[in-house]
Amino acid sequence: MFEFLNNTLLFNISLIIKYYLIGPPKPSWDLKFYQIWAMIKSMFENTTMTIEQKQSASFRPDPTPAGVHVPNDGWEKREIRKTILYFHGGAYYLRNKDSSRNFTCSLAKWTNARVLAISYRLAPQNPFPAALHDAFAAYLYLLNPPKDTGLEPLNPKNIVFAGISAGGGLSLALGLAIRDAGLPSCAGISCWGPWVDLTHSTPSNLDDECADFMPKFKGSNIIQAKSQVLSEYKEKTAALTEKIKKQNLGPKIWHDSFDRPDGVLQFYAPNEGLAIPYVSPMLAESLGNLPPLLLVTGDEERIRDEIIYLAHRSAEPTKYKGPSYNAGKFEKSPFQTPTNTTLEIYEEMPHVFQMMEHFSTTKSYERTSEFIDRVINSPNEPLPPSSYNYISIKGEFNPLKEHHKKVLDWEEIGIVPSVTRNEFNSTTSHILTPKLLISIGELQ
């Protein structure tokens, strides 16, 4: 206990000194914002924790704020039909619905909606397509609940999907799966910092100037201490890769850059599956014919460019057709109608900045609430045209800046960058331990 308190004290003293002597990475960040950012950054840099330790620490439940009811046995019968189906973040291997109450409760209060959050199965114990199966099952449950639940079936036009980070990617993957299956779509999809390209192919993933807590791509996301779960995952993935290669008798169905001498890239799917649209929605043959989208990112976000590119591909599908190895596939797709898409990039903000107190956080919740009201409460009114917006820290709406447009001419879309894991430098002045990690929730 003494060691935990001592480490926490030293960590925070160091942060406070840096904050007042050097200043935060961005001028609009106050001390509390900077503390949360630095703690999460330290977690990403920590290679001494096992997967099991990180998962256990990430499951710590958020407290339920006043004014929000969290039922244990289903919803009470209420007049409110507006429903958000929410998918948590955590790179597909961390967090659950209980550790995401900071977001779900705030969404419920801002939107005056019911929120169904699920704890989908996590990788690497349950890799793709387990999370998508669980998300699909949750949607079908809302449309046709078992009779013994006492719940009434919902009209899909009363449902909005919402998710952050990996949960945002899962929301979009679910939208694609529903579209492809010919099922009734939801009213809209709202994503904050959606992870939509597991190949890490866009420029911001390698940007040295990016002030995000998410690290620059170093060749793999499998940078963890050795453990039983990690060993089992690597063995199963190696066997699956071998099976895929033996069964692939024709031309390779994956890009050469996916063949990595240093092993697997992600916990969620084997390298050969990274371009599957339900794994990396940005790489889908078409992003047309989806329900209205609200895509939110920070200007300092590591995965900003993939969100920008997905927004343009959905709104202008005939102009932006995805990776070179999918050439000609869009023309054969039955889904060529542009998707109504709103992209919002917030000045000075990192990945999922909504976990911190800031003017931009309030603005983001406000805009999300407006979007959900518009797609559910006014389904017969025409939507505003698709738009790409850069929102200043003063709340001013501006067109995108030149550095946002770099990805639109990027020729390496869907191609894994040629960096190797031995370039990774894990040196850091303060390593976040499992015990120190749980204090993040107390700062929020």
pLDDT digit string, tens, across residues 106-138: 999 999 999 999 999 999 999 999 999 999 999
Q: Are 76 and 113 in contact (CB under 8 A)?
A: no
Using the predicted structure, report yes or no on whether residue 422 has a pLDDT greater than 70.
no
Q: Confidence band (pLDDT; 50, 70, 90) for 425?
A: very low
Q: Are 297 and 193 in contact (CB under 8 A)?
A: yes
> Which secondary-structure segment (H or E) carries 44?
helix 31-45
Q: What is the pLDDT of residue 3?
A: 52
Half-sphere exposure of 363 (CA within 13 A, CB side): 20
Rounded to 10°, the helix 51-58/228-247 angle is 110
Using the predicted structure, report yes or no on whether residue 7 has a pLDDT greater than 70.
no
Q: What is the pLDDT of residue 436?
A: 38
Q: Which distant-in-sequence residues (6+ apart) come within 8 Å of 397 by Cβ?
A: 389, 390, 391
Using the predicted structure, report yes or no on whether residue 441 has a pLDDT greater than 90.
no
Mean pLDDT, residues 17-33 taken together = 95
Using the predicted structure, report yes or no on whether residue 299 has a pLDDT greater than 50.
yes
Residue type, 32: K
Please choose, from the candidates 235, 276, 267, 272, the residue with its C-alpha nearest in 3D space to the C-alpha of residue 255: 272
Q: What is the pLDDT of residue 220?
A: 83
Q: CA-to-CA distance for 435 and 8, rounded, in angstroms?
A: 9
Q: What is the pLDDT of residue 80?
A: 61
Mean of pLDDT over the chain? 89
Q: What percent of the chain has pLDDT over 70?
A: 90
Q: What is the pLDDT of residue 427?
A: 34
Q: Which segment of 260-264, 278-282, 409-413 scores lowest on mean pLDDT?
A: 260-264
Using the predicted structure, report yes or no on whether residue 433 has a pLDDT greater than 80.
no
Q: Per the structure block, which two tokens stand in for 319? A: 């102009």
Using the predicted structure, report yes or no on whether residue 39 has a pLDDT greater than 50.
yes
Q: What is the pLDDT of residue 75?
A: 58
Mean pLDDT, residues 270-291 taken together = 96
Q: What is the pTM of this model?
A: 0.92
Q: Summarize pLDDT for 306-361 with one digit per residue, the tens.
A: 999 999 999 999 999 889 999 899 999 999 999 999 999 999 999 999 999 999 99
Using the predicted structure, report yes or no on whether residue 150 has a pLDDT greater than 50.
yes
Q: What is the pLDDT of residue 81?
A: 83
Q: Confidence band (pLDDT; 50, 70, 90) for 6?
A: low
Residue type, 177: A
Mean pLDDT, residues 382-389 taken together = 96
Q: Summarize pLDDT for 201-252 with one digit per residue, the tens.
A: 999 999 999 999 999 998 888 877 889 999 999 999 999 988 988 887 777 7
**Which is more confident, 436 or 146?**
146
Q: Confidence band (pLDDT; 50, 70, 90) for 5?
A: very low
Q: What is the pLDDT of residue 76?
A: 58
Q: What is the pLDDT of residue 74?
A: 60
Q: Which segment of 26-30, 72-76, 94-98, 327-331 scores lowest on mean pLDDT?
A: 72-76
**Which is more confident, 430 or 410?**
410
Please choose, from the candidates 323, 217, 223, the residue with its C-alpha nearest in 3D space to the C-alpha of residue 264: 223
Question: What beta strand segments (E) does 38-124 contain?
Answer: 83-87, 114-118
